[in-house]
A and B are shown apart, each in its own frame.
Chain A
Amino acid sequence: MNDSAAEAREPMVRAVGVHKSYGHVPVLNGLTLDIAAGEVLCLLGPSGSGKSTFLRCINHLEVPDSGYITVAGELIGYREQGEFLIEASERQIARKRAEIGMVFQQFNLFSNKTVLGNLMEAPVRVRREPKAQVEERARANLARVGLSDFAGRYPGQLSGGQQQRVAIARALTMRPKVMLFDEPTSALDPELVGEVLDVMRDLAADGMTMVAVTHEIGFARDVATRVAFLHQGQIAEIGAPASVLEHPSHERTRAFLATVR
Chain B
Amino acid sequence: MAGNPLQAPAAETGAGRTAAVQPPGERKIKQRRHPWRWAGVAVLGVLVAMLAHSFLSDQAYDWGVVGQYLGAGPVIDGLLTTLELTVITMAIGIVGGVLIAAMRLSPNPIVSRVAWFYVWLLRSVPLLVQLLFWYNLGALYPRLSIGVPFGPTFVSAGSSTLISPFTAAILGLGLHEVAYMAEIFRGGILSVPQGQTEAALSLGMTRRTALFRIVLPQAVRVVIPPTGSEVITVVKSSALVSVITLTDLLYSVQKIYSENYLVIPLLLVAVIWYLIVTSVLSAGQYLLERRFGRSLARTPRGGWRPWRQRGIPSGEAS
Seen from chain A, the residues whose Cβ lies within 8 Å of a Cβ on chain B are: 59, 61, 90-91, 94-95, 97-102, 104, 106, 108-113, 121-122, 125-127, 152-154, 156-157, 167, 170-171, 174, 189, 191
* Identity of the chain B residue whose Cβ is nearest the Cβ of A159 in the assembled complex: B1
Interchain CB contact under 8 A, A126 and B300:
no
Q: What is the predominant secondary structure among interface residues of chain B facing chain A?
A: helix
Contacts of A108 in B (CB 8 A): 193, 195-196, 198-199
* Identity of the chain A residue whose Cβ is nearest the Cβ of B221 in the assembled complex: A112
Assembled-state Cα–Cα distance A104/B298 (Å): 22
- Residue B206, interface by CB 8 Å: yes
Interchain CB contact under 8 A, B297 and A156:
yes
Assembled-state Cα–Cα distance A150/B241 (Å): 54
Interchain CB contact under 8 A, B206 and A104:
no
Binary per-residue interface labels of chain B (289-305) against chain A in the complex, 1 for a CB within 8 Å, 0 otherwise: 00000011111110000
Interchain CB contact under 8 A, B206 and A90:
yes
Interchain CB contact under 8 A, B209 and A110:
no
* Identity of the chain B residue whose Cβ is nearest the Cβ of A89 in the assembled complex: B206
Listed A/B pairs (30) with beta-carbon separation below 8 Å: A59-B202, A61-B198, A61-B201, A91-B206, A94-B201, A94-B205, A97-B201, A97-B204, A98-B203, A99-B204, A104-B202, A108-B198, A109-B199, A111-B218, A112-B295, A121-B203, A121-B213, A125-B209, A126-B203, A154-B295, A154-B297, A154-B301, A156-B296, A156-B297, A156-B298, A157-B298, A157-B299, A157-B300, A170-B203, A174-B203
Assembled-state Cα–Cα distance A152/B200 (Å): 20
Interchain CB contact under 8 A, B213 and A104:
no
Return B102 CB to nearest CB of chain A, in Å: 14
- Residue B207, interface by CB 8 Å: yes
Return B150 CB to nearest CB of chain A, in Å: 33
- Residue B224, interface by CB 8 Å: no
Return A191 CB to nearest CB of chain B, in Å: 8
Assembled-state Cα–Cα distance A100/B203 (Å): 8
- The one of A112, A170, A171 in contact with B217, judged by C-beta atoms closer than 8 angstroms, is A112
Interchain CB contact under 8 A, B298 and A189:
no
Return A20 CB to nearest CB of chain B, in Å: 17
Return B82 CB to nearest CB of chain A, in Å: 34
Return A177 CB to nearest CB of chain B, in Å: 13
Known: A122-B204, A154-B296, A157-B297. 17 other contacts (CB 8 A): A61-B198, A90-B207, A91-B206, A95-B204, A98-B204, A100-B202, A104-B202, A108-B199, A110-B196, A121-B203, A122-B200, A125-B209, A126-B203, A126-B205, A156-B297, A157-B300, A167-B199
Contacts of B198 in A (CB 8 A): 61, 104, 108
Interface centre among B193, B203, B301 (most CB of A within 10 A): B203
Contacts of A104 in B (CB 8 A): 195, 198-199, 202
Contacts of B1 in A (CB 8 A): 189, 191
- The one of B196, B213, B295 in contact with A125, judged by C-beta atoms closer than 8 angstroms, is B213
- Residue B281, interface by CB 8 Å: no
Interchain CB contact under 8 A, A112 and B199:
no
- Residue B214, interface by CB 8 Å: yes
Return A210 CB to nearest CB of chain B, in Å: 15
Nearest 5 interchain pairs by C-beta: A98-B204, A122-B203, A108-B199, A108-B195, A102-B202
- The one of A126, A153, A191 in contact with B204, judged by C-beta atoms closer than 8 angstroms, is A126
Contacts of A90 in B (CB 8 A): 206-207
Contacts of A170 in B (CB 8 A): 203
Known: A97-B202, A125-B213. A106 touches B296 (CB 8 A): no
- The one of A59, A97, A112, A153 in contact with B218, judged by C-beta atoms closer than 8 angstroms, is A112
* Identity of the chain A residue whose Cβ is nearest the Cβ of B294 in the assembled complex: A154
Contacts of B213 in A (CB 8 A): 121, 125
Assembled-state Cα–Cα distance A174/B204 (Å): 9
Assembled-state Cα–Cα distance A238/B297 (Å): 46
Assembled-state Cα–Cα distance A152/B193 (Å): 23
Interchain CB contact under 8 A, B203 and A171:
yes
Return B291 CB to nearest CB of chain A, in Å: 13
Interchain CB contact under 8 A, B296 and A125:
no
Assembled-state Cα–Cα distance A127/B296 (Å): 28
Assembled-state Cα–Cα distance A97/B205 (Å): 8
Contacts of A100 in B (CB 8 A): 202
Residues of B156-211 whose CB lies within 8 A of A: 193, 195-196, 198-207, 209
Known: A156-B297, A157-B300. A110 touches B200 (CB 8 A): yes
Residues of B1-21 whose CB lies within 8 A of A: 1
Return B299 CB to nearest CB of chain A, in Å: 7
* Identity of the chain A residue whose Cβ is nearest the Cβ of B296 in the assembled complex: A156
- The one of A94, A98, A127, A156 in contact with B295, judged by C-beta atoms closer than 8 angstroms, is A156
Contacts of B195 in A (CB 8 A): 104, 106, 108
Contacts of B196 in A (CB 8 A): 108, 110-111
Return B285 CB to nearest CB of chain A, in Å: 20
Assembled-state Cα–Cα distance A191/B5 (Å): 12
Assembled-state Cα–Cα distance A125/B214 (Å): 12
Assembled-state Cα–Cα distance A157/B298 (Å): 5
Residues of B86-109 whose CB lies within 8 A of A: none
Assembled-state Cα–Cα distance A152/B213 (Å): 19
* Identity of the chain B residue whose Cβ is nearest the Cβ of A114 in the assembled complex: B295
